[in-house]
Amino acid sequence: MRVLVAGATGAVGRQLVPCLEAAGHEVVGISRRGPRPVDVLDAEAVRRAVAEAAPDAVVHQLTDLGGADGAANDRVRVEGTRNLVDAAREAGVRRIVAQSISWAYAPGDAPADESVPLDPTEEPPRSRIVAGVRALESAVAELPEAVVLRYGILYGPGTWYAPGGAVAAALAGDPGARFLGSTAADGSVGSFVHVADAAEAAVRALGWPPGAYNVVDDEPAPGHAWLPVLAEALGVPAPGRTEGRAPWARGAVNTRARTLGWAPARPSWRTGFADQGR
């Protein structure tokens, strides 16, 4: 299969391209940087890139997280996805696999499966984040063979959670550390996934039925459980435990993806945090 990877130089994209090639696919990668620079917010540039690639499928791994600017990332989700979907449709592409997130679900007590609706909140900034996710998933669904991968919090090479990254700096007390997330050791539950496992899911998703899939590890956990383990792996101080929990911070389950053959090579952050360079 000829696959166009949009966001080929990102944390997942760098893992994904060689995985696709190893699986026998022909890969064309585009990103803002690299040999094929394309600004996803430039609709005409995206249209040309997709037309020239003439792919059988598109894999959308586009983000704008380098500056830890949530509004910029939301714009990529909304406008960038719109441009990519329009270009794919014009090029006759039927199948798209797109990166989404697993923490946009409505509040609840248990980890969410894919039947849980997206959060209807009207309170910013979460309302803006969820609106971007909703726009991304809605646009992608316009193609007849659309697969949405709702990733957990990404860790591993190239992420904020890697050794020497922004989270390590924040835990070490650097006031200039910038990332989108929390270092509160409270009861808010999150689900993680290593970037290599996220990439493997994207390869497999080229053959999955249309729909949404949580791509997370096997152990949703509160901040007071995972933060000390991360801090130890990064060699920085662990924050003190605090009370409270964001109602929407419930984690997610990966049962649906597992039934189709995907399983995380790093099933838990407990061992995965210390294994981030691999």
pLDDT in tens, 126-176: 999 999 999 999 999 999 999 999 999 999 999 999 999 999 999 999 999
pLDDT of residue 35: 75
Three-state DSSP state, 15: helix
User: What's the half-sphere exposure (Cβ side, CA atoms, 13 Å) at 142?
Assistant: 17
- Residue 111: CB atoms within 10 A of its CB come to 21
pLDDT exceeds 60 at position 278: no
pLDDT of residue 36: 77
What angle do the packed helices 43-53 and 81-90 form, to 10 degrees?
40
Cβ-Cβ contacts under 8 Å for 105 (sequence gap 6 or more): 112, 116, 117, 118, 119, 248, 250, 252
| CA of residue 173 relative to chain centroid, distance | 27
The whole-angstrom separation of Cα 42 and Cα 38 is 8
Kindly state the average pLDDT of the residues 68-77: 97
